[in-house]
């Protein structure tokens, strides 16, 4: 039976005029304060999305490279923008695939993130192909190695980061935080880095408590401990996008500057051949005995 891969990412607006509809999709119908929308449009303006949208461009580069490496059709599906996950599912079925591997470009499972990707894909396939969803790959050795390569040998204090989520997930027994800390430990061990910590980033103004510490507060606390050189290693994202280019490269950088600290961040895996190779290995593990096209 032939297989295809649906490669899923968060999605990002191509035009500033798309931001209200994009934000509405993220909010799932819940109201948006006008000042939050304005603030988001401004961040996308400063990111220059209309000239070059990093997330969408990198996702396409990754898709094409994975298709070559895995020898299977790979279709892109975005959670909050086009092409939608349902479009990718239709294209996967059109290849005649009997097996669809669902792979999200986010390594850690949460009911508030990966489960949403899964249900969109499951609904779109509607039983017309067997779905093999890769729920998480936070401890997949080739991925850990890609990150370890980026922090090995540093003299700086390494801060591993990931997107925050509402704190209620802990009481719900969600594995997200545990998986994040496991990735951080595995990467640090593999790279021989002893001086490290973990913090969240990119909290949203939704009016409920989110997981912390937030990186901005964390940098202040590190500064108070005498840390002056920080290397940020985002482990919950794999591409350059708004949450990296703004939240780390602008906001965290500004805070570090105020504190008299040097802050650098790792190059994101993006479409690096070593990372694409890791993704291909994940897919191959899932496809198993099914012969490539
Ligand atoms: O570059 C881009 O245009 C898109 C960057 C982007 C990525 C991303 C990844 C994750 N998010 C996760 C959770 C949440 C929750 C809410 C939420 C809100 C936003 C907003 C924008 C946004 N997220 Fe995001 N996220 C990205 C962008 N995210 C924009 C809305 C404005 C704002 O808060 O700044 C809150 C939803 C709500 O309001 O109810 C929760 C998680 C990830 C990492 C996993 C993944 O990539 O899917 C978790 C990239």
Mean per-residue pLDDT, 120-145? 98
The pLDDT of residue 53:
87
For residue 245 and ligand 1, the question of a CB distance below 6 A is answered with no
For residue 246 and ligand 1, the question of a CB distance below 6 A is answered with no
For residue 162 and ligand 1, the question of a CB distance below 6 A is answered with no
For residue 19 and ligand 1, the question of a CB distance below 6 A is answered with no
The pLDDT of residue 288:
84
Residue 142 contacts residue 278 (beta carbons within 8 Å)? yes
Q: How far apart are CA 218 and CA 196, in angstroms?
A: 12
Across 13-27, b (16+ Cβ under 10 Å) vs e yields beeeebbeebbebee
Q: Cis ω on the peptide bond leading into residue 83 (within 30° of 0)?
A: yes
- If one residue of 243, 245, 248 were mutated to test the ligand 1 pocket, choosing by the most ligand atoms within 8 A of its CB, it would be 243
The pLDDT of residue 63:
98
pLDDT band at 292 (very low <50, low <70, confident <90, very high): very low
Smallest CA-to-CA distance from 16 within 63, 46, 39, 50 is with 50
Atom of ligand 1 nearest to the CA of 204: 33
Q: Is pLDDT of 41 > 50? A: yes
pTM: 0.96
Residue 159 contacts residue 218 (beta carbons within 8 Å)? yes
pLDDT band at 52 (very low <50, low <70, confident <90, very high): confident
pLDDT band at 187 (very low <50, low <70, confident <90, very high): very high
Instruction: Write phi, then psi, for 199 (nearest 5 degrees).
Output: -145, 160
pLDDT band at 290 (very low <50, low <70, confident <90, very high): very low
What are all long-range contacts of 48-54, with beta carbons under 8 Å and residues at least 24 apart?
Answer: 49/12, 49/13, 49/14, 49/15, 49/16, 50/14, 50/15, 50/16, 53/12, 53/13, 53/14, 54/12, 54/239, 54/240, 54/241, 54/245
Residue indicated by tokens 């910590």: 197
Classify the phi-psi angles of 240: left when phi > 0, otherwise alpha if psi is within -120 to 50, otherwise beta: beta
Q: How far apart are CA 54 and CA 244, in angstroms?
A: 10
Instruction: Please report, for residues 20, 57, 129, 164, the alpha-carbon distance to residue 40 in angstroms, rounded to integers and kept in the order given.
Output: 9, 20, 38, 17
**Residue having the nearest C-alpha atom to atom 32 of ligand 1:** 204
169 Cα: distance to centroid of ligand 1 (angstroms): 16
For residue 220 and ligand 1, the question of a CB distance below 6 A is answered with no
pLDDT of 64-106, one tens digit each?
Answer: 999 999 999 999 999 999 999 999 999 999 999 999 999 999 9
Instruction: Write phi, then psi, for 172 (nearest 5 degrees).
Output: -85, 0
The pLDDT of residue 54:
86
Atom of ligand 1 nearest to the CA of 13: 3
Average pLDDT for the chain: 96
- If one residue of 8, 26, 107, 166 were mutated to test the ligand 1 pocket, choosing by the most ligand atoms within 8 A of its CB, it would be 26
Mean per-residue pLDDT, 257-266? 98
- If one residue of 205, 242, 245, 269 were mutated to test the ligand 1 pocket, choosing by the most ligand atoms within 8 A of its CB, it would be 242
The pLDDT of residue 172:
95
The pLDDT of residue 1:
77
Map residue 7 onto helix, strand or coil. strand
pLDDT of 142-186, one tens digit each?
Answer: 999 999 999 999 999 999 999 999 999 999 999 999 999 999 999
Residue 230 contacts residue 262 (beta carbons within 8 Å)? yes
DSSP string, 48-66: TTTT--HHHHHHHHHHHHH
Query: What tokens were used for 226?
Result: 């005498």
Q: Is pLDDT of 286 > 80? A: yes
For residue 16 and ligand 1, the question of a CB distance below 6 A is answered with no
Query: What tokens were used for 40?
Result: 């988001």
């Amino acid at each position: 039976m032939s297989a295809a891969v649906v490669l899923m990412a968060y999605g990002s607006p191509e035009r500033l005029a798309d931001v209200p509809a994009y934000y509405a999709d993220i909010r799932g119908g819940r109201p948006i304060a006008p000042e939050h929308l304005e603030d988001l449009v401004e961040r996308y303006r400063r990111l220059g999305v209309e000239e070059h949208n990093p997330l969408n461009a990198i996702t396409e580069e990754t898709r094409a490279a994975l298709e070559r490496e895995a020898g299977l059709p790979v279709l892109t599906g975005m959670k909050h923008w086009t092409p939608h996950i349902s479009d990718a599912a239709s294209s996967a079925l059109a290849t005649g695939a009997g097996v669809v591997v669902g792979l999200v470009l986010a390594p850690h499972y949460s009911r508030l993130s990966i489960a949403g990707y899964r249900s969109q894909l499951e609904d779109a396939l509607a039983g017309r192909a067997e779905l093999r969803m890769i729920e998480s790959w936070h401890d997949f050795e080739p991925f850990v190695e890609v990150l370890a390569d980026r922090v090995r040998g540093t003299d700086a204090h390494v801060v591993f980061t990931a997107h925050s989520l509402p704190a209620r997930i802990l009481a719900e027994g969600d594995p997200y935080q545990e998986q994040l800390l496991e990735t951080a430990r595995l990467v640090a061990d593999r790279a021989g880095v002893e001086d490290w910590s973990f913090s969240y980033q990119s909290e949203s103004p939704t009016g409920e408590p989110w997981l912390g510490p937030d990186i901005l507060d964390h940098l202040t606390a590190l500064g108070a401990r005498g840390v002056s050189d920080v290397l940020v290693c985002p482990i919950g994202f794999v591409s350059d996008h708004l949450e990296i280019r703004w939240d780390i490269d602008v906001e965290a950088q500004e805070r570090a500057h105020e504190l008299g600290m040097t802050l650098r961040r790792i190059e994101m895996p993006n479409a690096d051949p070593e990372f694409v190779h890791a993704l291909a290995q994940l897919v191959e593990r899932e496809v198993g005995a099914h012969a490539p096209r």
